[in-house]
Amino acid sequence: MKKTFLFLVILFIAAGFCFASDPVEGYWLSVDEKTGEVTAGWHIYQERGVLYGKILSFSDKSGVDTAVNCRESYPGFPVPGKVNQMPILETPWIYGLTSTKPGEWSGGTVVNPEDGRNYRCRIIFRPADGRRYAVDTLEMRGEIGLGIGRSQFWRKSDQRTASSL
C-alpha cells in the first residue's frame, strides 16, 4: 500500500514537470531602452517545442497597420503569404527559437515589422531578484552576427494589459 501511494505521488510530480510551461511563455511588455516607455504588448508562446512571439497591441499603432516595410518573405517565416502584406498585430514576428535550457531560447529569428530588418534572436528569462530585476524580466536579444547586437528588457504582464495598449 505504501509503495503504491509513493509511486502515485512520484508519478503526479513527474507529470507536473512535464506539463509545466517555460517561464518565457506568457504576456510581456516591450520597453524602449532609451525612454523607458512601453512600446508593445506581446504574447510569447510555444508550439511543438518551438518558441514564437506575436504583437498583441502597440502603444501608438492601430490593429489595421500592415508590415509594408518588410520584404515579401524571410527564410523560415512561419506564416504563408507575402510578409509585407501581413498585419503587424497577431503575426509571429519572433519565430524558430528552441530551448537550450528552461528559461533560455536561441537559434531563431526576430523581424522588426516597422522597418523589415531581421536578426538572429535569443531570449532569456530573468527572474525578479529585488536588485537588478525588480520584476520578472525577459531579455530579448537581436544579433546581426558574431554576438554583435542589442538587448531589450521586457516586463512581465497579463493578457488584458498586453492586449490593450
Q: Does domain 22-162 have CATH number 3.65.10.10?
A: no
Note the pLDDT of residue 145: 80
pTM of the model: 0.84
**Ranges in the chain, pLDDT < 50:** 2-19
Distance CA 153, CA 8 (A): 41
Output the nine-digit C-alpha cell for 5: 501511494
- pLDDT tens track for 33-71: 889 899 999 999 999 999 999 999 988 766 568 999 999
